[in-house]
Amino acid sequence: MVADDGTQSRQEAGAAASNALPSDAPWWVRWTRWRQQSVTEGEAWETELLKRCCKTPMVASNVRVGPGKHDYIHTVSGGTPGQPPLVMAPGYAAGLGFYWRQFDALAPHFSLHAIDWLGTGLSGRPAFSARGREQTEAFFLESLRAWKSKMGVGKMVLMGHSLGGYLSACYALKYPEDVEHLILVCPAGVPQVPDDWQTRFQTMPTSRRMLFKTLMWTWDQGLTPGAVVRTLGPFGPGLCKGYVNSRFNRGGDGLTADEAAVFHRYFYQITAAPGSGEYALRHLLAPGAWAHAPLERRLHELSVPVTFVYGEGDWMRPEHAVNLCKRLREDGAPLCTSDKRVEIIDDAGHFVFLEQPALFNRSVIDACETVLGRAAARAAAHAMPRAAEQTHTAEMSRWAYRQGSGVDSGGGGKGAGGDAGAGSEPAASHT
């Protein structure tokens, strides 16, 4: 069904999909396709994920952002009308469904909109023709601004995870008038390549150097996790199932069997969809996930409040944001109490919002104290689980390099690990 404003609503279709899951498709459909993926199945599994895993009513829609057939941004909206808008953007090879553990807690305090970036998730998959960093950033930023205009969203709290955090920061730099507060969750692209990166690379064991060179070659060729899953055909769902069961049960609040059963099917659908936005990666990040235009060189121009949130074991290395925020505070006083601040949540990694949802949701409320009003934010935070010993505001004394041994986290919680001084682990599949 297409609404008069050009937005395709799935309110009615979603209810029907929840009663007719993809597994109910005729056997000859399920067994005669190389890829077990379609838009209809993806929408059905997203609907099932939200129905089973959260209580907040969320309305799904496809919002037109351009003239082409595939120029639309998939959105789910809910929460409290009249409250400040919170726009939630996922990371690379992820989708808005990854935020299912936020909707119930944040809905009373915000007008919620979770999106899939153009060319990703369940959004349209136009041919990706961007070349170079500036064109690639424009592919995402201009479509997001068109979405905002079509949706009638006012000045927003913009929250982005990983590569979505990098893009959200780029959006706030280009269109600060649209953003009330910027929340960067484990953002990619913060540090620049260290001066001694090549020296450290040469000191790696030969086997590791060869592996990394292979990864560099595949990165430069544009090989993506989605391409691998699509190539595997009927074996792709099994790979996604194994990844979800392994990756999202490492610590914190692991997935229940029921959650994992639906989530891995949703994850397969968005991963096996035709390639589009996934090809942006090499234009934005170099091998090793070093940004071509690092945020630490760009955020000095930011004119809106920014809060960073990390899991303590995040491979994106929180100390880079700690160092950056220290320099930003030296440039000028914070615009609010949560501006230029880094929140670090213990017993969590790169997917902190899935691994420690209660603590993460509280951090979002705390970050938005000025937006929500101090009294309202404190009341909301007070109603959430309190675990002060598991959440802390990073200080420089807590995060210091130990050459050759990763990060010194003060002896508490899980260290970030990885190569000393590296911005990321090169083998990671999500950013």
CATH numbers and ranges of domains, the chain: 7-408 (3.40.50.1820)
Q: How confident is the model at residue 254, as a pLDDT?
A: 85
Measured between alpha carbons, how far is residue 57 from residues 11, 60, 160, 246, 336 in Å? 10, 10, 22, 29, 32
Residue 350 annotated as catalytic: yes
Nearest to 234 by CA among 15, 431, 32: 32
Q: How confident is the model at residue 290, as a pLDDT?
A: 84
Burial 380-408 (b: 16+ CB within 10 A, else e): bbeebeeeeebbbebeeebbeeeeeebbe
pLDDT beyond 90 at 374: no
Which of the two residues, 309 and 412, has the higher pLDDT score?
A: 309
Q: How confident is the model at residue 10, as a pLDDT?
A: 45
pLDDT beyond 60 at 9: no
Residue 314 annotated as catalytic: yes
Q: Which residues does 299 contact at the CB level (< 8 Å), separation at least 6?
A: 169, 173, 306, 324, 328
Q: What is the mean pLDDT of the chain?
A: 83
Rounded to an integer, the average pLDDT of 391-415 is 38
**One of 109, 161, 181, 350 is an active-site residue; which one?**
350
Q: How confident is the model at residue 200, as a pLDDT?
A: 66
**One of 314, 339, 346, 347 is an active-site residue; which one?**
314
**One of 111, 143, 162, 424 is an active-site residue; which one?**
162
pLDDT beyond 90 at 300: yes
Band (212; pLDDT cuts 50, 70, 90): low
Q: How confident is the model at residue 3, as a pLDDT?
A: 42
Which of the two residues, 209 and 110, has the higher pLDDT score?
A: 110
| Tokens at 194, concatenated | 């260290």
* C-beta separation of 368 from 294 below 8 A: no
Over residues 216-245, the pLDDT tens digits come to: 667 667 789 999 999 999 999 999 999 999
Residue 149 annotated as catalytic: no
Over residues 20-44, the pLDDT tens digits come to: 455 556 667 767 788 889 999 999 9
Task: Report the 10 Å Cβ neighbour count for 20.
Answer: 11
